[in-house]
């Protein structure tokens, strides 16, 4: 029998190959585990120092497996995109506080301003009776090639247009091509898709003389012409493919009301005035009648018009002007949410005048055609956590942890809950 002899160098070579193969296996296993768990990290948000900081998601919430599915006994044709609830969403927002240039108004840039909690970013809107696709900015831009949009109304409208612009920015950067003297009305252009989006400042939608400084402090009552629409927006309607119109909260301000070029009454009447207190609801109803009649008349417009119901605030223990705050950090249920009487009045007038105008101007069946109602009041009522609160200002507690600061419980953080209005709007455009 012959004895096989192995050289020392050959043995060393075999040992090296075994070690190399083992190292490759271990590296592959580690990489697989990293990829598997990578979903436990959120999008990266820029801190106030300018650095990017990854963070873990908020505590896991157990959600039934069928939470995001449609019950089998529901008819899709009867889908109501505005009735639903907020459910946990580990994917978070599609943009960050620093990913869309300087589009976000400083008062709504909550994360840059130092808001410490980010859990409010990890919820999405889920209608009860239908699937709601996530907003697809590329699809939106493709559908809106060579189109023109306008968002018409108050500062909540501006809040909304900035949300849409930031979502679209993930595909194409918009170019600002116009602004008025006070930078309240602006226009942006997406050159690759030839899409124009405008923000038109018209907080009452009717003609108004407003006496306020940049901080919103009034020196005199507003002079409001209830029977004369603001030509700032009406003159544009024949050129627009899509318009979103909204108002509401400005009607709560002290004002003198005019009709037929004569004062007819007031709300929070000036001292020594002989005018009759008519209440904001009288003025809002009269103005809305004229607004709705105008947009329901096909000869006044080119494209589709959405009227958005007013959005609720969540001030507690006061209001904007007397120390109201909003410290919630997560959504509430329908049972927990309580709509203030003023919001009920505003929404009731909006829906009532919309339905009347559509019925009278567009047919007895109430079919809206190219005039549509966006009833977002209830959807946003359950998101008291989505406001800037104290973080409307940059790092308000750096110098004094107990500082008394102005809270904003009316506008919405960006990114934040208002982004999901765009999911509903795109779905409405695509599938009616």
Catalytic annotation, pick one of 375, 408, 419, 423:
408
Tell me whether residue 28 is in a domain: no
432 vs 24 pLDDT, higher one: 432
CATH number at 309 reads 3.40.50.1110
Catalytic residue among 258, 411, 419, 423: 411
Q: Which DSSP helix (H) or strand (E) runs through 27?
A: helix 8-37
Averaged pLDDT for residues 36-65:
41
The helix (run of H) or strand (run of E) holding residue 414 is none
Cα gap 328→127, rounded to integer Å: 23
In a domain, 151, yes or no: yes
User: What is the C-alpha to C-alpha distance for residues 391 and 86, in angstroms, rounded to an integer?
Assistant: 23
Which pLDDT does position 321 carry in this prediction? 83
pLDDT at 368: 57
Position 261 in a domain? yes
Of the candidates 374, 363, 214, 355, the residue with the CA atom closest to the CA atom of residue 310? 374
Catalytic status, residue 155: yes
Structural domain of 160: 89-431
Residue 158: Cβ within 10 Å count: 20
Look at residues 97, 91, 187 and name the one whose alpha carbon lies nearest to residue 148.
187
Q: Is 104's pLDDT higher than 70?
A: yes
* Residue 20 pLDDT > 60: no
Residue 57 covered by a domain? no
Q: What is the mean pLDDT of residues 55-78?
A: 46
Please state at what angle helix 280-296 crosses helix 341-362, rounded to 10 degrees. 30
Report the mean per-residue pLDDT for the chain.
86
Helix (H) or strand (E) holding 34: helix 8-37
- What is the structure's pLDDT at 19? 52
Query: 365 or 257, which is more confident?
Result: 257
**Residue 55 counted as domain residue:** no
Q: How many structural domains are present in the chain?
A: 1
47-61, 74-88, 94-108, 126-140: which range is least confident on average?
47-61
pLDDT for the residue 271: 87
Residue pLDDT, tens place only, 129-155: 889 999 999 999 999 999 999 999 999
Percentage above 90 pLDDT, the chain:
74
**pLDDT at residue 305 in the model:** 97
Whether the pLDDT of residue 294 is over 70: the answer is yes
Query: In this structure, is residue 252 part of a structural domain?
Result: yes
Task: Give me the mean pLDDT over the 288-302 stretch.
Answer: 96
Inside any domain, residue 27: no
Listed range (106-120, 200-214, 345-359, 376-390) with the worst mean pLDDT: 200-214
* Domain assignment of residue 297, yes or no: yes
Catalytic member of 94, 155, 246, 310? 155
Is 411 noted as a catalytic residue in this protein?
A: yes
For residues 4 and 426, what is the distance between their CA atoms, to the nearest angstrom? Answer: 77
Residue 320: band (very low, low, confident or very high) from pLDDT cuts 50, 70, 90: confident
């Amino acid at each position: 029998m012959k004895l096989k002899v192995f050289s020392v160098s050959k043995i060393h070579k075999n040992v090296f190959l075994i070690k190399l193969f083992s190292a490759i296996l271990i590296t592959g296993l580690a990489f697989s585990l990293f990829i598997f768990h990578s979903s436990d990290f959120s999008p990266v948000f820029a801190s106030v120092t300018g650095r990017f900081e990854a963070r873990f998601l908020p505590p896991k919430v157990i959600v039934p497996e069928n939470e995001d599915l449609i019950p089998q006994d529901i008819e899709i044709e009867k889908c109501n995109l505005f009735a639903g609830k907020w459910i946990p969403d580990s994917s978070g927002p599609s943009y960050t506080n620093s990913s869309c240039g300087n589009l976000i108004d400083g008062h709504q840039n909550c994360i840059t301003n130092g808001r410490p909690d980010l859990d409010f970013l990890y919820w999405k809107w889920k209608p009860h009776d239908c699937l709601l696709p996530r907003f697809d900015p590329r699809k939106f831009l493709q559908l809106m090639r060579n189109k023109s949009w306008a968002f018409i109304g108050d500062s909540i409208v501006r809040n909304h247009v900035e949300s849409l612009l930031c979502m679209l920015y993930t595909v194409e950067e918009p170019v600002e091509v116009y602004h008025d003297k006070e930078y309240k009305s602006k226009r942006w252009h997406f050159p690759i898709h030839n899409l124009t989006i405008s923000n038109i400042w018209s907080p009452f939608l009717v003609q108004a003389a407003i006496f306020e400084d940049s901080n919103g402090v009034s020196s005199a009552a507003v002079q409001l012409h209830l029977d004369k629409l603001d030509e700032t927006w009406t003159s544009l309607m024949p050129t627009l493919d899509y318009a979103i119109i909204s108002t509401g909260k400005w009607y709560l301000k002290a004002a003198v009301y005019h009709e037929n070029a004569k004062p007819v009454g007031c709300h929070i009447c000036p001292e020594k005035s002989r005018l009759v207190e008519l209440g904001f609801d009288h003025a809002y109803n009269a103005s809305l009648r004229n607004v709705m009649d105008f947009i329901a008349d096909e000869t006044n417009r080119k494209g589709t018009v959405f009227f958005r119901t007013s959005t609720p605030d969540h001030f507690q223990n006061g209001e904007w002007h007397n120390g109201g705050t909003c410290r919630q950090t997560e959504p509430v249920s329908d049972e927990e949410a309580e709509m203030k009487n003023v919001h009920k009045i505003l929404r009731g007038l909006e829906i009532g005048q919309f339905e009347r105008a559509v019925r009278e101007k567009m047919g007895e069946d109430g079919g809206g055609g190219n005039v549509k109602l966006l009833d977002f009041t209830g959807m946003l009522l359950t998101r008291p956590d989505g406001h800037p609160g104290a973080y409307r200002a940059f790092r308000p507690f750096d110098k004094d942890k107990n500082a008394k600061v102005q809270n904003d419980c009316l506008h919405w953080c960006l990114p934040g809950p208002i982004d999901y209005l765009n999911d509903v709007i795109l779905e409405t455009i695509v599938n009616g």
